[in-house]
Amino acid sequence: MSINYTETHIPCKRKNRTIIVYFGIFIQYTEIMRDKARYISIVSGAMTQTTVEHKEGCTCSQGYTRHRRRERTPKKFRGERYNVPIWQIRCLKCKAVFTVLPSFIARYQRFDIDCLSKLLEINLVMTSSYRHTLKILEYARGEQQTWNPGSILHIINWLGDLLPLPCILLRLGLTPPQSVIEDEKFVRENGERTYIAFISQQEIIWWIEYLANTDELHLEDSFKRYLAEVREVYPDYNIEGATYDGWKAAKTAFEAVNINIVLQECHLHGKARMSRALPAIKRDNPALTEEQLEKIKECHDQVIEAKSLASYSQRLRQFREAFGHITEVAKRCISLKNKLPMFLAYLFFPLLKLAKVSTLLDQLIKFFDRKFLIMQTFRESSSANKTVHAFAIVRNFWKYMPGAKRVGKSPVEIAGADLQRIPWLEVVNLATTSRMTPKVHVTNMHDT
């Protein structure tokens, strides 16, 4: 009898059954490891919240036992190596085997979480280049490193590929924003224009994506991807209101994903358009003095800053009567009339708490600008998307430094996330296998 090897000898695909559990710092972890009952109790509590699956049909009701032990030897920031015992556990019902990593150990990385977080902060928030990041590491270790700059890019890609950005924020217990601020960053790479789309709530970046274009279709697809990620947890979620810079493609894209969305145009962008029009007004009307040009700008800005519908209409009428004979001003008057609902949306819909200006997002983009200037180019699009994603993660967890109004707190903490004093990259690491905030794991550890 002949055997059809093509049909019978199919390689078995290994399941990724690695879970991340919070045990505290390394010393606490080694103490817990010595107490088998305590270790199993903590892991069992974490398993109730894990996203890692057992074998089909298993309800994991009979508990776990230790299965096999091995060791990892991660590196610290200053170069020291240390041995970390790692246990596998086995489900007593379905016999599935799981690898249990303490939260200070990252999968597929030879450095511990503390070292990785420092390298990511130096490179992405402190805006050092890859080579400068390696040079700082050399100074810390007192010896020359044999790395190449691609090693830092590998770490950035690892972070950018861990979890979708909204998923991390939702697992921290944050509520998705009802109203957002949206903007696009236009950049040049090797002479060609590329784009980064941002969606934020206050200082938190909820969505960031590298796009080939910012036309209606690309932005609409990006917004839909954001909604799809959030709807995994909140099925009925929609963006109810958005502050944007007046880009027509963004308006069309928002209306495509939610026809009832309320749009607020940024006041600063509206004023900036008038400022950019002044040179053309001066060129076409050379008799105008600088004082008259300033008066045109002042009257225009007063229309946008009106605090009521009546005031807006009155100021617009006065602006048109005073300067409407100037072609560029006449065009701006038509625009101001058409955009009245969008400049005053924050007044018409107070419950949405729409931002009048996109300043908070603009400040975040300034940090991104600095990073982009250091990098010079993103090269390949998939790596670029991971890079911008990693930037947003680090920026969301970066604590404000001395001199800031909210010194010592990160944007996610200001928004209400309780990190339980766990280092931020450990929090992200925990989120890769947990459905819940790290508080669950901390409570389980102390209760035992």
For the chain, what is the mean pLDDT? 86
Strand partners, 211: 195
CB atoms within 10 A of CB 59: 9
Find the mean pLDDT for residues 140-167: 85
What pLDDT is attached to residue 148?
74
- Which residue would you say has higher pLDDT here, 352 or 211? 352
- Which residue would you say has higher pLDDT here, 61 or 399? 399
CA distance 326 to 349: 34
The percent of residues in the chain predicted with pLDDT above 90, rounded, is: 61
CA distance 364 to 209: 14
Strand order in the sheet with 204-211: 204-211, 192-201, 179-189, 241-244, 262-265
Nearest partner of 343 among 313, 304, 317, judged by Cα: 304
Cα 426 to chain centroid, rounded: 16
Q: What are phi and psi of 183, to 5 degrees?
A: -155, 165
What pLDDT is attached to residue 115?
92
What pLDDT is attached to residue 434?
85
What pLDDT is attached to residue 381?
65
What pLDDT is attached to residue 400?
87
What pLDDT is attached to residue 15?
63
CA distance 246 to 332: 13
What pLDDT is attached to residue 221?
95
Amino acid code (one letter) for 314: Q
Question: Would you call 308 exposed, middle or buried from its count of C-beta atoms within 10 A (0-12, 13-18, 19+)?
Answer: exposed
The model's pTM is: 0.87
Long-range CB contacts (within 8 A, 24+) of 422-427: 422/22, 422/103, 423/104, 423/113, 423/114, 423/117, 424/117, 424/397, 425/106, 425/113, 425/114, 425/116, 425/117, 425/120, 425/159, 425/397, 426/22, 426/103, 426/104, 426/113, 427/172, 427/397
Question: Would you call 66 exposed, middle or buried from its count of C-beta atoms within 10 A (0-12, 13-18, 19+)?
Answer: middle
DSSP 368-391: HHHHHHHH----SHHHHHHHHHHH
- Using the predicted structure, report yes or no on whether residue 327 has a pLDDT greater than 70: yes
| Interval 351-374: pLDDT, tens | 999 999 988 888 888 777 766 665
CB atoms within 10 A of CB 150: 10
Residue 8: its H or E element: helix 5-8
CA distance 266 to 260: 19
| Interval 335-352: pLDDT, tens | 999 999 999 999 999 999
Query: Is 343 in contact with 336 (CB distance < 8 Å)?
Result: yes
What pLDDT is attached to residue 160?
92
What pLDDT is attached to residue 268?
93
Confidence of residue 7 (pLDDT cuts 50, 70, 90): very low
Q: What is the largest CA-CA distance in the chain?
A: 102
What pLDDT is attached to residue 321?
94
CA distance 165 to 397: 12
Query: Is 303 in contact with 316 (CB distance < 8 Å)?
Result: yes
- Which residue would you say has higher pLDDT here, 249 or 404? 249
HSE (side-chain half, CA atoms, 13 Å) at 388? 29
CA distance 219 to 223: 6
Query: Is 122 in contact with 136 (CB distance < 8 Å)?
Result: yes
CA distance 414 to 234: 22
- Using the predicted structure, report yes or no on whether residue 443 has a pLDDT greater than 80: no
What pLDDT is attached to residue 126?
83
What pLDDT is attached to residue 6?
35
Per-residue burial over 284-306, b if 16 or more Cβ lie within 10 Å, else e, is: ebeebeeeeeeebbebbbebbeb
Confidence of residue 125 (pLDDT cuts 50, 70, 90): confident
CA distances 304 to 40, 245, 281, 362, 376, Å, are 63, 14, 20, 19, 37
Tokens of 299: 């009257």
Nearest partner of 99 among 60, 63, 61, 71, judged by Cα: 71
